[in-house]
Amino acid sequence: MSGSCRSRADPAACKQRSRPLRPKVLITRKIFEESIACVARHCDVDTNQRDVPLTPHQLIRRLQGKQGAITLLTDTISDAVLARCPDLKIVSNVAVGFNNLDVKAATERGVMMTNTPGVLDDTTADLTWCLILATSRGLIDADRYFRSGKWKGWGLMQFLGRDIHHKTLGICGLGRIGRRVAKRAKGFDMRILYTDRTRAAEDVERDLGVAFVDKRTLLKESDVVTLHVPLSPETTHYISTAELKLMKPTAVLVNSSRGPVVDEEALVRALGEGWIAGAGLDVYEREPRPAPGLTRLKNVVLAPHIGSASMETRLKMSNMAAENCVAGLTGRRPPNLINPQVLMRQHPRPTGAR
Ligand code: NAP
Ligand code: GLV
């Protein structure tokens, strides 16, 4: 763990413990002990030890009298929740994606919101590549076949997948994670296209070896389309029937961004009817439930939202969220503040600067 929590661990923390008015924090689900200890050095902590998402009712009840919340992406912090938790000063999300938070409402109510950008880029890009390779080469299906005991030995025509090297990769959203995916594609000698609402700087394009194209061109020309846009009203069903019909019948779609970025029912049809060759998914439109028919398809690889799930990265995310929360409640600017406008308003009240 880096930064504020550790450096404030010892004598100062003991002093703070004896203060009567320590901020109160709810940790909505299981995070690393080290991160809980970091928060507990400065705040009174209530944690949901069951590691099952709290219902909206439970969430509101447990947030009463709390100044801080450490949330996971399975928690919805809507305006209605914020309205019923007037003591909240900060919501610290343990994820880079923050579509589960109503940032606009929080800003209007003077509540800080933070996320965990940067620390999970390589890990999520690695998982994206797992999906690209496993889907294109039919690895999961081959594994199942082997385990079933049906394999009778090598055959020239068995399990013929598709090459990735020297093919065209299309990246939708060349942000932090999209760039790490592009970096890895260079090692496969791929032609790399990208589309984004903001074109990257010339030196970024040159270093990554990527070419900017419009979405339609990317969909028509790519052998692999990989999605790295955040979920927003503009990116909901970013890939639906029309887009799937533009893709090559030999192409593969990979989604490790957010489920609703893809119209999952349209995807089930596309995979079933052969509009595209396959899909690798880490995220789903209505997690944890798959769209009807998805799990019966053989040309899809399904991961249970594990993009950032390495021990090292999840620990970094957990500690980062703890540090954001502690900073916000001890009068410092949280390092990963999503809505800095809150600090410019007349009534921001970071607590803890007692
Ligand atoms: P990021 O750095 O913000 O990159 C997102 C990129 O998408 C940016 O270049 C952004 O452009 C672009 N974009 C935004 N809206 C767009 C639109 N309407 N059309 C086209 N491009 C658009 O985010 P990141 O850190 O790479 O993370 C991306 C997403 O991955 C997260 O939001 C999260 O939902 C998801 N994620 C999933 C996992 C997992 O476990 N599967 C792990 C980590 C992250 P601008 O520069 O103009 O904003
Ligand atoms: C994971 O999905 C994240 O957004 O960090």
- pLDDT at position 354 is 31
State the average pLDDT for the chain: 94
What's the pLDDT tens digit per position in 306-325?
Answer: 999 999 999 999 999 999 99
pLDDT of residue 3 exceeding 50:
no
Under the banding of pLDDT at 50, 70 and 90, the label for residue 5 is low
Q: Is 338 found in the same domain as 263?
A: no
Q: How far is the CA of 235 from the centre of ligand 1 (A)?
A: 10
Write out the H or E segment, with its range, that includes residue 45. strand 44-47
Exposed / middle / buried, residue 92 (Cβ in 10 Å: 0-12, 13-18, 19+):
buried
- pLDDT at position 14 is 45
What's the pLDDT tens digit per position in 22-59?
Answer: 999 999 999 999 999 999 999 999 999 899 999 999 99
Per the domain annotation, does 3 fall within a domain?
A: no
The ligand that comes nearest to the alpha carbon of residue 239 is 1
Per the domain annotation, does 2 fall within a domain?
A: no
* d(C-alpha 189, C-alpha 166), whole Å: 5
Structure tokens at 194: 């990208």
Closest ligand 2 atom to 98 CA? 4
Share of the chain above pLDDT 70, in %: 92
pLDDT of residue 349 exceeding 90:
no
Does ligand 2 have an atom closer than 6 angstroms to the CB of 280? no
Q: Is 337 found in the same domain as 228?
A: no
Could you please report the per-residue DSSP string of 176-233?
A: HHHHHHHHHHHTTT-EEEEE-SSPPPHHHHHHHTEEE--HHHHHHH-SEEEE-PPPST
Under the banding of pLDDT at 50, 70 and 90, the label for residue 20 is low
Share of the chain above pLDDT 90, in %: 90
The pTM of this model reads 0.94
Q: How far is the CA of 175 from the centre of ligand 1 (A)?
A: 6
Q: Is 144 found in the same domain as 291?
A: yes
The residue with tokens 């061109």 is: 217
Per the domain annotation, does 352 fall within a domain?
A: no
**Between 21 and 234, residue with greater pLDDT:** 234
Q: Is 162 found in the same domain as 134?
A: yes
The residue with tokens 């995916």 is: 181
- pLDDT at position 305 is 98
- The CA dihedral of 195, 197, 203, 204, to the nearest 10 degrees, is -60
Distance of CA 294 to the CA centre of its chain: 21
pLDDT of residue 154 exceeding 80:
yes
pLDDT of residue 129 exceeding 70:
yes
CA angle (63 as vertex; 60, 320 as ends), nearest 5: 120
Whole domain around residue 129: which residue ranges?
121-302
Q: Is 220 found in the same domain as 176?
A: yes
Q: Is 292 found in the same domain as 333?
A: no
- pLDDT at position 344 is 87
- pLDDT at position 186 is 97
Q: Is 341 found in the same domain as 264?
A: no
Q: How far is the CA of 242 from the centre of ligand 1 (A)?
A: 22
Does ligand 1 have an atom closer than 6 angstroms to the CB of 175? yes
What's the pLDDT tens digit per position in 155-199?
Answer: 999 999 999 999 999 999 999 999 999 999 999 999 999 999 999
Q: Is 147 found in the same domain as 46?
A: no
Per the domain annotation, does 354 fall within a domain?
A: no
Per the domain annotation, does 336 fall within a domain?
A: yes
Q: Is 225 found in the same domain as 170?
A: yes
Per the domain annotation, does 254 fall within a domain?
A: yes
Per the domain annotation, does 4 fall within a domain?
A: no
Q: Is 181 found in the same domain as 277?
A: yes
Q: Is 166 found in the same domain as 111?
A: no
Per the domain annotation, does 20 fall within a domain?
A: yes
Q: How many domains does the chain have?
A: 2
Q: Tell me the three state secondary structure of residue 330.
A: coil
Q: If you take atom 15 of ligand 1, which residue's CA is the nearest one? A: 229
Q: If you take atom 40 of ligand 1, which residue's CA is the nearest one? A: 307
Closest ligand 2 atom to 283 CA? 2
Among residues 249, 191, 263, 255, which one has the least CA distance to residue 220? 249
**CATH number of domain containing 291:** 3.40.50.720
- pLDDT at position 8 is 43
* d(C-alpha 129, C-alpha 181), whole Å: 7
Q: Is 115 found in the same domain as 132?
A: no
